[in-house]
Amino acid sequence: MNYKKLGNTDLNVSTICLGTMTWGEQNSQNEAFEQMEYSLDNGVNFWDTAELYAVPPKAETYGHTETIIGNWFEKTKKRKDVILASKVGGPSRKYMRNGENSFTGKNLENALNGSLVRLKTDYIDLYQLHWPERNVNNFGRLGYEHKENEWNEFEDVLINLKKFIDQGKIRYVGLSNETPWGVMNYLQLAKDKDLPRMMAIQNPYSLLNRSYEVGLAEVSIREKIGCLAYSPLASGYLTGKYRDKQFPKGSRMERDFDFWTRYRKPNTSEAVEDYYKISKKYNLDMSQMSIKFCEDQDFMTSVIIGATTMEQLKTNVESVKVNLDSEVIKEINNVQKKYPNPCP
């Protein structure tokens, strides 16, 4: 396994991060336990979850993933072996704290304490703001339209987070689904006001969505706030299993087709087919090629993988051993030029 520092902390996190959002929906607790054991045994010490999970999100499965992880910690007593990240949900879902999902005051306190109880731990290593309170064009939305809504000042958010860091409930904080403007404002406030510094940006990044490179890549490198890439396989499209519009039984697209609209965009199939041909030409597993491309980026801290079978998990973890030479990278970049970011 490979490791990198998380921001400017002293934490060495694996460059493969264990994603967990299917646990409690597509995966049972026993299957999740097996994934956790295998991952830790193979050097994956960095795990990511959220109060929102399992996914697709709904009231019936809210918090289930954290509960499963907490049950594993209780059973194995291995909490200290894991660098654990979780996320507090922003506004939008009424079943989360009755829709009062702001990042300050009692709302934040209740969210954090709820996660700690479910996870059966007294601290979270990296606590992330799952999506901004203000209106931004994330989750596949294009064409920014400025629409003001109520949101807490960043300084107030950081002051509230500092309280929980001082109490030992959080070690570090991070962002998710954030914009360059948001990231830089948080960083500047931390510097000017001696407030907690954001240590990571969990945003989408894959061969089908390299939009992170436009503004956030430079921020990540210069400010030492690396990317935690989610959806590196574009919900399975970059495994090749959905080629020719085939949706295997039990797959995300077969189970929840209407939810995963982000990857059903013009030129997606064409780009996937070209990437598939590259993997075959160079005798590479398509999943491993896709994950390794993400891991190799200078702005990357860790790539969050998600698997529903042990075979998938093993393939994904083994991607760290793959080497992508200059010819492979050249051909990948040519596809990007031909079909730029079909699934932002």
Helix (H/G/I), strand (E/B), else coil: 69 = helix
Instruction: Return left, alpha or beta for 120; rule: phi > 0 is left, psi -120 to 50 is alpha, else beta.
Output: left
Q: Where are the beta strands (DSSP E) in 161-248?
A: 170-176, 198-204, 227-230
Q: Which residue, among 36, 54, 53, 52, has the nearest Cα to 44 in the 3D structure? A: 36
Whole-angstrom distance, CA of residue 69 vs CA of residue 103: 24
Q: Say how many residues make up the chain.
A: 344
CB 225 within 8 A of CB 191: no
Q: Where are the alpha helices (DSSP H) in 7-153?
A: 29-41, 64-76, 105-119
Query: CA 224, 43, 304: angle at the middle one, nearest 5?
Result: 55
Among the options 38, 53, 95, 186, which is catalytic? 53
Handedness of CA 122, 124, 127, 130 (dihedral sign): negative
Whole-angstrom distance, CA of residue 161 vs CA of residue 217: 25
Angle of helix 326-338 versus helix 286-295 axis, rounded to 10: 90
Q: Which residue, among 14, 65, 64, has the nearest Cα to 40 in the 3D structure? A: 14
Q: Please report which helix (H) or strand (E) contains residue 192, including its range.
A: helix 180-193
Distance between the two ends of the chain, CA-based, in angstroms? 29
For β-strands 83-88 and 170-176, DSSP reports them as unpaired
242 belongs to the catalytic site: no
Helix (H/G/I), strand (E/B), else coil: 124 = strand
The catalytic residues are 53
